[in-house]
Amino acid sequence: MKLTVFGATGGTGRLLVRQALEAGHHVTAVVRDPARLPIDHPALDAVVADVLDAASLRPALDGRDAALSALGPHGRKDTAGVCSSAISAILEAMETAGVRRVVALSAQPVLRTGAGEPLWSRMTVRPLVRAVYRNVYADLDLMERRLTRSGSDWTVLRPPYLTDAPATGGYRSAVDANVPGSMTRADLARALLDVLDEPATIRHAIGVASLRR
């Protein structure tokens, strides 16, 4: 497939690009600074563009099969709303380019019900996390709502706490529910790629977490 990856220079984004190339995909990585993507591959194109500007994103999406967003906030005090603003620009550029499939990275606490999590976590940990990172989850919640209202074939992945540990070799998932545990970024990159070819995940949020060691 011909894929466009947003957030390609982030911790998860770099792994996503590498795994996509290893799987035989052609990857267009949207970056602000190509020097931050130290990957050299004949099937990789690095395109400098502004993820908040739909017009600048159009060339990175023309002729592509799908878009993947590994964008994330800059920190818990981030009030810029980068994820929700970027998905609006991405969706606009996708529509113009005739691309329908998009997979976007969200986070477990966006699911307010906490479905799939133990009761003690829903009653104690979740309210605290949402309070501390309220700007982050408000932005991700808005991003998800903009996807929901779009006519795209979207899938959202909601991982729990992320680590830089090696891949576990697999992951657990649940449709429209969370999966307790943590997740390595390598496992998350694999999950982002896997759902591309799973029609049952279209227009659903998928909870994911690494296999228990």
User: In this predicted model, what pLDDT tens digit does every residue of 33-58 receive, in sequence order?
Assistant: 999 999 999 999 999 999 999 999 99
Q: Which residue is listed with tokens 């990789």?
A: 44
Proportion of the chain in helix, strand, coil states, percent, rounded to 5: 40, 25, 35
Least confident among 74-78, 87-91, 148-152: 74-78
What pLDDT was estimated at residue 128?
A: 55
Structure tokens at 123: 């009653």
Q: Is the pLDDT of residue 109 over 80?
A: yes
Residue 207 tokens read as 């909870």
**Mean pLDDT lowest among 1-10, 116-125, 151-160, 182-191:** 116-125
For the entire predicted model, the pTM comes to 0.90
Q: How confident is the model at residue 110 (pLDDT cuts 50, 70, 90)?
A: confident
Q: Give pLDDT tens digits for 57-69.
A: 999 999 999 999 9
Q: Is the pLDDT of residue 154 over 60?
A: yes
